Structure 1
């Protein structure tokens, strides 16, 4: 089992200068390695038999790979001795990042999903130093010892869990300072195996929206906070301040830092809201069912700003991780007609987006539109057929009427 703990670092002036120097050298090396990949790709991507009869064939060379570029790091330190200051595994991680970015562009990830074309990193855009290996006892009290660094002070706001070993350490520069992220592993803790069968009793359906952040199948609503929209006035002033400064000056850097802190505050507010909402949801059901949303497609509409402000994708990914850690389950269902179909009788009741109340002319059900959708999501996850449920309800009503019939006839005869 692996977990990540993050702590605030408090480096001194010399350590800050060294971290910034390392980040700048790693940025230059990243751009150089990425340029090698692009040069080879531009000159070798067309097959020889596809070229015209008269053309200039480039000099063929070996394709840059992760291993070939990593082997050239030895020559790099000979040609540029100042790179000897950077720890060897940190440089190797830079090569790994280039390879990962390039492969995701050409081949995609394990699910076949491709990323955009990698870009060269401008000044200040390389923010992370990863140490793949650190000593098990690198943390002593409120200090951590990193390779080729002296002890750096950190704010240890919570102790490390017992039995976990430190696998990697990562120093990240953010808008308000430097942070240390530790990846911890405990082999004795087995991976969680979730064997939960969704039923109507243990399943909670949630419907995400923009009027309310979510509505559950039990009728509870969570208001949408809209942190980004509430901070737009402040954001506008900060962006104007940045645009009026001379690029590269100290006042420009100060304005950029203020702008970054504003964005960081909004992101932290949204993160805190997500985790509080997840904690509340997981306490109400063993299985959480939600729609499988095409968020990128929805974000191409005029509602893009509101959708990204709500952070649906991040919320659902965090929900899946927290549910797995708690031994619970999340289920995705097809969103087709979940807001149009009636949760009482299963009949389709077309309605516009502006209509917020579901009024079924077939069975007379009248509830909130989002609650109706949440109930449909829960039924789909639990495998409940609404038509069979309505049929069983009708049979039960008919049976009750048969039982009452002799009693009512007896009263009439008397």
Structure 2
């Protein structure tokens, strides 16, 4: 089982300077390696999609890859000795990050989905660096030892569970300070709970009026954290726009704006964690729709959909379920709102119609409840098929 714990750290002024300097040097190197990739791409691409049977093809340039760019770091330290102040493995993570970003643009991820063209990192846009190997004894009590940085004080708000090993440590700069994220692993945790009950399943239908409605007719109202904080955000944004570019007052205003946005994000994330825990405490399996959230976020409801944070909630729910040996089943959302949950008859209705009225079996229930019951039924079918195949 793999989990992550994040702690806030309290570095000294000298350590803050080292962290900021490390991030800035890594940003330069990231942009340089990414430019190498773009140069290769532009030199070897061809805008002509057809040519004669007999033609001259120019020799292709060697493609930069992770290993060749990683090997160039040795010469980098000779040409720029100040890069020796960065731990070697931290520096080696940069070509790996470039490789992943570039391949997602050209080839796509494991599911075939492609990302947009990679962008160069501007000032203060490179915010994280990672130690890929970390020994457990370097984190004791409230002190963590980071190579080339020193012993840093940590605010330990919860202890690491027994039996977990620290695999990697990431240092992140945020609007309100610096954080370390520990990636923990324990292979002894079972993938499925020993007393797992496949009949203890619930379907949830996410929405904008109610955050979700369960098939047991339990409702959680949408908290709308962004909408409630809009007034403060607008005020903070107005102060940024009125400050002179490059001035210290503008930097302070930007920092305050960042803190306001982080507060909204943290409050939403806390709500998602608590809501996911309340569901997993009651049910062994949860069926959810496999929604195209990115597509929905391009509609006129974009702000409300992003405010709800369905993608983050489902991701948290899935991770917590996996760690607890429970199941989250993603089902096809096609027709869950139109199909009658009692007789299966298809009843077409507009988005504004909030009551499901079936002319065949005369069922009259809330539209979202009807969808949640359909999601549960489909999830039950898929769960049994999974258990049978395993």
TM-score where L is the length of structure 1:
0.87
**2:282 partner SS:** coil
Which residue number corresponds to residue 21 of structure 2? 21
Structure 2: where are the runs of 5+ without partners?
A: 383-390
Question: C-alpha deviations, 1:187-227, integer Å up to 9, x for none?
Answer: 4x14514799986x422111111111110111111000010
Q: How does 1:104-253 map to 2 (within 5 A)?
A: 104-187=104-187, 189-193=188-192, 201-253=199-251
RMSD in angstroms over aligned alpha carbons?
2.4
Write the distance in 2 (CA, Å) between the matches of 1:328 and 1:49.
51
Rg larger for: 1
2:294 to 287, 293, 296: 296
Write the distance in 1 (CA, Å) between the matches of 2:99 and 2:47.
22
How far the C-alpha of 1:238 sits from its partner, in A, is: 1.3
Write the distance in 2 (CA, Å) between the matches of 1:50 and 1:309.
47
Which residue number corresponds to residue 335 of structure 2? 337
Which residue number corresponds to residue 387 of structure 2? none
Aligned pair in 2 of structure 1 residues 190, 276: CA closer, same or farther (>3 Å)?
A: closer
Which residue number corresponds to residue 37 of structure 2? 37
Aligned pair in 2 of structure 1 residues 365, 195: CA closer, same or farther (>3 Å)?
A: farther
How far the C-alpha of 1:140 sits from its partner, in A, is: 2.8
Write the distance in 2 (CA, Å) between the matches of 1:131 and 1:333.
38
How far the C-alpha of 1:292 sits from its partner, in A, is: 1.5
Write the distance in 2 (CA, Å) between the matches of 1:294 and 1:238.
32
How far the C-alpha of 1:48 sits from its partner, in A, is: 10
Which residue number corresponds to residue 65 of structure 2? 65
Which residue number corresponds to residue 76 of structure 1? 76
Write the distance in 2 (CA, Å) between the matches of 1:302 and 1:116.
22
How far the C-alpha of 1:60 sits from its partner, in A, is: 5.2
How far the C-alpha of 1:22 sits from its partner, in A, is: 0.7
Write the distance in 2 (CA, Å) between the matches of 1:249 and 1:62.
45
How far the C-alpha of 1:321 sits from its partner, in A, is: 1.1
Aligned pair in 2 of structure 1 residues 130, 371: CA closer, same or farther (>3 Å)?
A: same
Which residue number corresponds to residue 46 of structure 2? 46
TM-score where L is the length of structure 2:
0.92
**1:353 partner SS:** coil
Which residue number corresponds to residue 98 of structure 1? 98
Greater shift, 74-83 or 178-187, is seen at 178-187
**1:8 partner SS:** strand
Q: How does 1:287-366 map to 2 (within 5 A)?
A: 287-366=285-364
Greater shift, 10-19 or 43-52, is seen at 43-52
8 Å CA contact 1:357, 1:366 repeated in 2: yes
Write the distance in 2 (CA, Å) between the matches of 1:258 and 1:57.
56
8 Å CA contact 1:205, 1:375 repeated in 2: yes
Which residue number corresponds to residue 3 of structure 2? 3
How far the C-alpha of 1:340 sits from its partner, in A, is: 1.6
8 Å CA contact 2:193, 2:324 repeated in 1: no
Aligned pair in 2 of structure 1 residues 255, 88: CA closer, same or farther (>3 Å)?
A: same
Structure 1: where are the runs of 5+ without partners?
A: 385-414
Which residue number corresponds to residue 405 of structure 1? none
8 Å CA contact 1:291, 1:333 repeated in 2: yes
How far the C-alpha of 1:67 sits from its partner, in A, is: 0.4
Write the distance in 1 (CA, Å) between the matches of 2:148 and 2:265.
33
